[in-house]
Amino acid sequence: MDLLTAKALLERGETTPLALLEEALERARAFQDRNALAHLDEEGAKEEAQRLTEELRQGYIRGPLHGIPLTVKDLFPVKGMPTRAGTRAPLPPLPEEAQAVRRLREAGALIFAKTNMHEVALGITGENPWTGPVRNALDASRQAGGSSSGSAVAVALGIGLASLGSDTGGSIRIPAAFNGVVGFKPSYGRVSLEGALPLSRSTDHAGPIAKTVRDAHFLTEILAGESIPLEGPQNPTFGVPLDFLEGRLGVEVRRAFQRLLEELPSLRAEVREVSLPLPGVYEVYTRLVRYEAARIHEKALREHPEGFSPQVREALMAGLALTEKDYRDAVAEREALRLQLVKALRGVDALLLPAQPLP
């Protein structure tokens, strides 16, 4: 069931917050092998669900998410729950609750669990030596993607109706794609990251993972605190950067993407080839993120390096070795790449690319 369907059932009195929570808990028990959850507050959630159910019975509505069970990625502090961000290293000081979580609560959401993630959000596979790998919702032998691994798997399996994730270099979009749900990375700064554990302050985004585009839009409006248009142009023009994709896609993904391109004209969408060379984009991204992440975790790196798994520690140490000049050069190169991207978007409504090159 998607979020807006559940909301309609609640409004018609055809279900209750307690019933929705019980269903989410049942799914969590049934799919424990996927390792989606970092922390589950079953007792506290049942008490809160009972309160929300009683309020609804009396006609009191806290907000547009009244009684909707949601999960939250374990780098957003949630009052009454631990925050570990998938690591054994000590974290920098964090508040009792992140602002985005407060927004959800104020809207009446029932936050009952925190989700597992790639360690400190520095990775895209969802494999974590400390907490164990999050396993794909559709096929437990495959990766879940990351870093918002548990959030995407939870949504795909019905462990809650949506989840709050974060995205620096694909961390919402990749696990959403791997698990067959909708991940949306809003514009930078649109959804507050105040109080959340950062990975890269200049690159981090917060956003929803949900079952449908309409659910993701609904949640984004609540998280951003503003009305956001849902409908796009009637006859959109998509830019496809074939030069950028050349040689990058696995056979299955390339075939699926080609089928999509062939179908778009029948949906009254135009497809136009655009140039998107973006030279050195990954290297620039890596320098920026590692430099910023290393400064966030610098104290723990120096005092408790064993708290980070070897792969994450190596990446953070590489960031620590970068100089301020290296960083400033990367910032300037990012601006040049941004201008190239703006140029590529001229005359098209959006760029269209596969989320990942391989299944």
Q: Is 275 a catalytic residue?
A: no
d(CA 158, CA 23): 8
Sort 311 into a burial class: Cβ within 10 Å, 0-12 / 13-18 / 19+.
middle
Give the sheet arrangement for strand 350-351, strand by strand: 270-273, 237-240, 350-351
List Cα–Cα distances, 136 to 71, 128, 290, 300, in angstroms: 17, 14, 27, 31
Look up 187 and say whether it is catalytic. Answer: no
CA nearest neighbour of 69 among 33, 31, 103, 19 = 19
**Coil, helix or strand for 250?**
coil
Point out the catalytic residue in the list 7, 114, 147, 149. 147
Q: Is 163 assigned a catalytic role?
A: no
Burial class (CB in 10 A: 0-12, 13-18, 19+), 267: exposed
Q: Which of 142, 141, 140, 147 is nearest to 126 (CA)?
A: 147
User: Of residues 148, 149, 171, 309, which has the active-site annotation?
Assistant: 171
Catalytic residues, which ones? 73, 147, 171
